[in-house]
Amino acid sequence: MAIEQEIISTITDLAKRLNLADWGIAPADEMVNEADRLALWISNGYHADMQWIAENTALRQNPKLLVPGTQSILVFTINYAQQPVQPPHLPRIARYAYGRDYHKVLRNKLKKIGSVLNQRFGISGRCFVDSAPVFERELAVKAGLGFIGKNCLLIHRNAGSWFLLGSIFIDIPLPPAQKLQPHSCGGCTRCIDACPTGALAAPYTLDARKCISYLTIEKRGDLEPPEAKMLGNHLFGCDICQEVCPWNRFAIPTKEPDFRPRPWIMNLDARQWQDVSDEDFNRHMAGSAIMRPKAEGIRRNAEAVLENEKRK
């Protein structure tokens, strides 16, 4: 018991020093109910053309298949809450993409924690930040870090939803969270009502085919005319369902310097984005999540935004 408490105290201290908002321990149990819900969601076509979601389902369901020897899963949150800094007339960029790519930021922090655990306690582990078939939100719930809201995001009762998730699968058993946060959306439907495209097909159900984040980031190739219209003034991602969520009144600004906005991307209008060269894009966007759709995808999105502006 003493060694368990020492390990937990070490992780808590490291998480605080690394600007991680919270952390918890989830069991490495097989996640059958979660896998069944995912299968139903996929059968309805809600994953659009993101075929990778439908692959490796057995690994997603059973953490011990993904990482043999896993006994516990450490789940971490990092806060990216900040006020929007773009002038309102410019194409909107999701706040998580204002600064450095969170995959890089959070993964580096988790690797540091994993290294300390290995050196000090002989613990082996693997870090994941959107890099493997992992039920990240569901594991966060099991770790006591929040509940999944009607907008399909993890919500913490005392801090809202402006968080990103990462995990470390470790090879020793640690006591999982004993108290889970109760589901607390109640009768609220603000996120569903505010979604401009109807992507929230029902409470707790996202239809990616209508989601602005999917269309601006993951969608490959040309946008169909109805899809282009759905973008409105969004260039990369969408924050609407979080902006209207009452729980985010408890959000506090991030202390992570890597999430500070890059001035270059905060001040470009749609025409400038449409005209950006591959060279300029790659130079200014290096290390940014906005690299995901590449310059070609951003130019495509900017063209849609311009056409939508003409319709006003």
Where in the sequence numbering do the catalytic residues fall? 130
CA dist 200 and 153 (Å) reads 12
Sequence-distant (6+) residues with CB within 8 A of 71 are: 28, 170, 171, 172, 173, 174
Helix (H) or strand (E) holding 264: helix 263-266
CA dist 161 and 16 (Å) reads 19
CA dist 158 and 101 (Å) reads 25
CA dist 297 and 73 (Å) reads 35
CA dist 8 and 19 (Å) reads 17
CA angle 69, 73, 76 (to 5 degrees): 150
CA dist 231 and 119 (Å) reads 48
Q: Is 182 left (phi over 0), alpha (psi -120 to 50) or beta?
A: beta
CA-closest candidate to residue 169, choices 141, 121, 145, 136:
136
Residue 76 near residue 165 (C-beta atoms within 8 A): yes
